[in-house]
């Protein structure tokens, strides 16, 4: 039941993000006087629609996208600027002419100056950038709220577990015949908060661990237990422990065996808790998330090869690889049913994880839509920018203003990109069904 709730919540979040993305296009388009005939959330058959004024608002069956239909997205051919319809020969030319005709088919008397392509360059950029900007704004609000209200997960000095023994062998699986751990002997309890180690204040588990590793054999731990400050005497021991690389992987020797080194052993673990951060950290936090997502997109071809191998070759999925809406829904389900461990056991943990997932999805939508290729928003922005460059250059040279950039000529590229997007979506959906990313292990 909780798993299904997570899936449904994420479906609603995705649909809402798409709806707000399209509002980001709709509002400036109407503000600038462009005639908008449709505002739709989803694709496929229409489930519900209602006309208000000149615009039909509706919801379609498949919540995987949406669109705002504006008249005059493509300009007429240069030789037909005085006409709203034109014809030509040649396969690509006919394709472009058909697109031009479809973008203008709803132009009626008096609508000639309400077509999209006649907007000034800066207004066209505002209209097309409005959608991705809305996704970025959603992500910024969510991440800022998480940062300052709930905080980020951090390993604290509050004890979450106490080991019963101090195993003399790394491979030991139980405490039979093993000496008691220093933590048990000192009387440490789950819920205690270590505040000092040998008089040195500690505020996190990493600080406590550092002091333990550099402490003498006899150590004094000052703990807060239900508001009372207690000093616990512990005799630390040394045990061989595995060595880990910087990326968290186990370090192996030439024979493939784990590398071991003697370290102080106390026998306790800190707990993971959310620690609120100052709002001043929000810009860097959000910016870092955008940069990290952009880096992933730059590696998308390589990542997709890995997805293909996982889908058809049975290899493990990359935990940092792309996934479809199906995969996002599965992760949301794992979050709400608490199967992702300590961070999702509490209501706060579940909420933070779900909102983080939705924020990440919106950042991905922002970055993806800014790719300068049609039919993405970035393709329209690139066309408008190029037109602005041409007009500025003509003005500086005292030449007549050039005609609008005919982005309809880029439709072969747009169709190629669309086919590639469909193929990528199908691959990701299939991989998420047969070999999904399993954060729960």
Distance of CA 358 to the CA centre of its chain: 7
Interatomic CA distance for residues 189 and 183, integer angstroms: 8
Report whether pLDDT(78) > 70: no
In percent, the amount of the chain with pLDDT more than 90 equals 36
Kindly indicate the confidence band of residue 440, based on its pLDDT and cuts at 50, 70 and 90: low
Report whether pLDDT(270) > 50: yes
Is-contact 164 265, C-beta < 8 A? no
Interatomic CA distance for residues 193 and 190, integer angstroms: 9
Q: Which residue has the tokens 């794992």?
A: 334
DSSP for 79-129, please give it: GGTT-S-----SHHHHHHHHHHHHHHTT--TT-GGG-GGGS-HHHHHHHHH
Annotated active-site positions, please?
A: 22
Structural domain contains residue 239: yes
Q: Report which of residues 3 and 268 the model is more confident about.
A: 268
Task: Find all residues with CB under 8 Å of 89, minimum gap 6, and list them.
Answer: none
What's the pLDDT score for residue 343?
A: 62
Report whether pLDDT(84) > 50: no
Give me the number of domains the chain comprises. 1
What's the pLDDT score for residue 39?
A: 95
Interatomic CA distance for residues 247 and 269, integer angstroms: 21
Structural domain contains residue 66: no
Report whether pLDDT(119) > 60: yes
| SS3 category, 33 | coil
In order of 131, 151, 251, 285, 414, the CA distances from 141 in angstroms are 16, 14, 40, 12, 32
Report whether pLDDT(358) > 90: yes
- How many CA atoms lie less than 13 Å away from 423 in the CB half-sphere? 10
Structural domain contains residue 414: no
Structural domain contains residue 168: yes
Structural domain contains residue 402: no
Report whether pLDDT(288) > 50: yes
CA nearest to 74, candidates 382, 416, 380: 380
What's the pLDDT score for residue 86?
A: 46
Tokens at 264, concatenated: 């102080």
Interatomic CA distance for residues 434 and 326, integer angstroms: 11
Structural domain contains residue 190: yes
Tokens at 342, concatenated: 């300590």
Name 230's bridge partners: 223
In percent, the amount of the chain with pLDDT more than 70 equals 91
Report whether pLDDT(324) > 90: no
Is-contact 333 325, C-beta < 8 A? no
Domain interval for residue 168: 154-275
- The string of pLDDT tens digits covering residues 38-56 is 999 988 899 999 999 999 9
In order of 172, 201, 205, the CA distances from 194 in angstroms are 27, 9, 9
In order of 123, 243, 328, 436, the CA distances from 323 in angstroms are 34, 32, 7, 8
Task: Find all residues with CB under 8 Å of 277, minimum gap 6, and list them.
Answer: 147, 148, 151, 152, 285
Mean pLDDT on 319-343:
80
Burial 415-435 (b: 16+ CB within 10 A, else e): eebeeeeeeeeebbbbbbeeb
Report whether pLDDT(80) > 60: no
> Tell me, what DSSP letter sits at residue 53?
T
- The string of pLDDT tens digits covering residues 406-422 is 777 777 888 888 899 88
Residue 399, classified by CB atoms within 10 Å of its CB into exposed (0-12), middle (13-18) or buried (19+), is exposed
Interatomic CA distance for residues 248 and 263, integer angstroms: 18
Q: In the predicted model, what is the mean pLDDT of the chain?
A: 85
- CB atoms closer than 10 angstroms to residue 395: 12
Report whether pLDDT(96) > 80: no
Report whether pLDDT(89) > 60: no
Q: Report which of residues 229 and 177 the model is more confident about.
A: 229
Q: Report which of residues 328 and 337 the model is more confident about.
A: 328
Q: What is the CATH number of the domain that holds 217?
A: 2.30.42.10
What's the pLDDT score for residue 103?
A: 66
Task: Find all residues with CB under 8 Å of 137, minimum gap 6, and list them.
Answer: none
Mean pLDDT on 286-309:
90
What's the pLDDT score for residue 77?
A: 67
Structural domain contains residue 310: no
Report whether pLDDT(287) > 90: yes
Kindly indicate the confidence band of residue 247, based on its pLDDT and cuts at 50, 70 and 90: low
Structural domain contains residue 55: no
> Tell me, what DSSP letter sits at residue 149?
I
Report whether pLDDT(177) > 70: yes
- CB atoms closer than 10 angstroms to residue 108: 10
Report whether pLDDT(88) > 70: no
Tokens at 304, concatenated: 């997709």
Mean pLDDT on 363-375:
91
Is-contact 71 37, C-beta < 8 A? yes
Q: Report which of residues 40 and 401 the model is more confident about.
A: 40
DSSP for 198-214, please give it: TTEE--SHHHHHHHHHT
Least confidently predicted of 38-42, 128-132, 162-166: 162-166
What's the pLDDT score for residue 389?
A: 92
Mean pLDDT on 234-250:
78
């Amino acid at each position: 039941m909780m798993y299904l709730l997570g899936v449904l919540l994420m479906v609603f979040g995705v649909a809402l993000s798409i709806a707000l993305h399209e509002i980001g296009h709709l509002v400036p388009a109407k503000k600038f006087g462009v005639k908008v005939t449709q505002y739709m959330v989803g694709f496929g058959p229409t489930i519900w629609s209602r006309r208000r004024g000149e615009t039909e608002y509706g919801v379609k069956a498949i919540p995987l996208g949406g669109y705002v239909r504006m008249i005059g997205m493509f300009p007429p051919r240069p030789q037909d600027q005085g006409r709203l319809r034109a014809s030509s020969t040649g396969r690509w030319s006919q394709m472009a002419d058909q697109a031009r005709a479809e973008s203008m088919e709803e132009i009626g008397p008096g609508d000639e100056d309400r077509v999209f392509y006649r907007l000034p360059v800066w207004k066209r950029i505002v209209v097309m950038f409005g959608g991705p900007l809305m996704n970025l704004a959603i992500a910024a609000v969510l991440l800022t709220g998480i940062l300052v209200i709930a905080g980020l997960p951090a390993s604290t000095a509050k004890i979450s577990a106490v080991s019963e023994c101090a195993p003399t062998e790394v491979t030991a699986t139980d405490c039979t015949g093993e000496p008691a751990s220093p933590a048990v002997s000192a009387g440490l309890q789950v819920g205690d908060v270590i505040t000092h180690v040998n008089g040195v204040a500690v505020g996190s588990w990493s600080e406590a661990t550092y002091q333990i590793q550099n402490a003498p054999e006899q150590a004094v731990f000052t703990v807060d237990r239900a508001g009372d400050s207690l000093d616990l005497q512990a005799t630390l021991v040394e045990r061989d422990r595995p060595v880990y690389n910087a990326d968290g992987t186990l370090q192996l020797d030439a024979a493939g065996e784990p590398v071991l080194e003697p370290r102080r052993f106390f026998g306790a673990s800190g707990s993971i808790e959310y620690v609120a951060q100052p709002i001043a950290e929000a810009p860097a936090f959000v910016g870092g998330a955008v940069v990290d997502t952009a880096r992933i997109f730059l590696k998308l071809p390589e990542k997709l090869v890995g997805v293909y191998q996982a889908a058809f070759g049975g290899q493990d999925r990359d935990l940092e690889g792309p996934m479809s809406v199906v995969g996002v829904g599965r992760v949301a389900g794992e979050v709400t049913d608490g199967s992702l461990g300590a961070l999702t056991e509490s209501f706060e943990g579940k909420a933070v994880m779900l909102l983080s997932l939705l924020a990440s999805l919106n950042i991905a939508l922002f970055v993806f839509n800014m790719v300068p290729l049609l039919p993405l928003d970035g393709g329209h922005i690139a066309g408008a920018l190029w037109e602005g460059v041409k007009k500025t250059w003509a003005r500086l040279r005292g030449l007549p203003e050039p005609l609008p950039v005919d982005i309809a000529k880029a439709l072969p590229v747009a169709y190629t990109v669309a086919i590639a997007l469909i193929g990528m979506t199908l691959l990701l959906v299939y991989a998420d069904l047969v070999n999904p990313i399993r954060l729960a292990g």
